[in-house]
Amino acid sequence: MSFQHTLATPVSCAGIGLHSGKCVTLTLRPAPADAGIVFVRSDLGGARVSATARNVVDTSLATKLSHRGVRVSTVEHILAALHGLGVDNAVVELDAEEVPIMDGSAAPFVVLIRAAGIREQRKARRILVIARTVQVKDGDKLAELRPSDRFRVSYTIDFEHPSISTQFFDYRHSESAFERDLSRARTFGFLHEVEALQAMGLAQGGSLDNAVVVGADAILNVEGLRFSDEFVRHKVLDAIGDLSLAGFRIAGHLLAKKAGHSMNQALLAELFSNRDNYRIVEGAFEAELPAPQPLSVLENAVA
């Protein structure tokens, strides 16, 4: 039996918003079973926004939530960290609209969650089991969820830049794999795009301290990359945060090519559009599921 988990104690950190450039304090607090992840705006009298797909209002540059006029933005990294470490229920309290970007990865949030501790709750987890394949496409972009006995992500990116090019990463979820293989992968952007965004009043908090910045023919960060394929790993990290907005642990296999926040949410919408696409079970499940596909087959599927 798999049980729900929350935090053992409250814990806080502070940083700046990537787009707003404003200082913000974030506090993680325990929450009761079945509460899910809830954002609380302390600067707005404790207004609450649940981390669910129905509250997604914008996916340009980051994933943004809103409920009854209360907005929370850039939620994907903290959601990925909570989901990746098995935290089902938590309050994320902010004193501003945007989650702090920290170093551009989920690693600082992993440290925060580890410091708080994780406590088991005597309530079974609910698992969303993919019953049949669902897919969304946009030109050569693809996002697809297939039946699987576990949560798995196979992701391909393709950029016409010598520092990135084509990268593929196959991730099979566990807490240790998330912390080791994904949590430190940072967000990235191209110098000319960053400059254009800042001229528009966006990315005001962006710097080489919280993003991998790609110049015309090289990476500008002096320390270089944390992984040779850090770019695609970060895309997997984002996808985990975005898909956590399903509100359940997912037993399914995400295949993605050149996708992003928008397609991740479109995929969830497609999934929930037909009740035959999934089933929800408590604690554990038994099903006739296909054997895991060889890596070569997956690479061809998203090529």
Number of domains observed in the structure of the chain: 2
Rounded CA-CA distance 12/28 in Å is: 6
Residue 199 CB partners (closer than 8 Å, separation 6+): none
116 and 175 belong to one structural domain? no
- Provide the residue range defining the domain that includes 96: 3-125
Domain final residue, candidates 91, 125, 159: 125
113 and 142 belong to one structural domain? no
Instruction: Report the 10 Å Cβ neighbour count for 45.
Output: 8
Please say if 253 is a catalytic residue: no
Domain final residue, candidates 125, 154, 177: 125
Assign 230 to helix, strand or coil. Answer: helix
149 and 270 belong to one structural domain? yes
* Cα-only R_g, the chain: 18
CATH number at residue 16: 3.30.230.20
Instruction: Report the 10 Å Cβ neighbour count for 293.
Output: 17
Of the two residues 200 and 148, the one the predictor is more confident about is 148
34 and 69 belong to one structural domain? yes
Rounded CA-CA distance 21/26 in Å is: 15
Contact 66, 42 (CB under 8 A): no
146 and 254 belong to one structural domain? yes
Confidence of residue 241 (pLDDT cuts 50, 70, 90): very high
pLDDT digits (tens, 9 = 90+) for 46-101: 999 999 999 999 999 899 999 999 999 999 999 999 999 999 999 999 999 999 99
Domain final residue, candidates 70, 93, 125: 125
149 and 109 belong to one structural domain? no
pLDDT digits (tens, 9 = 90+) for 156-195: 999 999 999 999 999 999 999 999 999 999 999 999 888 8
For residue 271, CA distances in Å to 135, 267, 280, 289 come to: 8, 6, 13, 18
CATH number at residue 275: 3.30.1700.10
13 and 155 belong to one structural domain? no
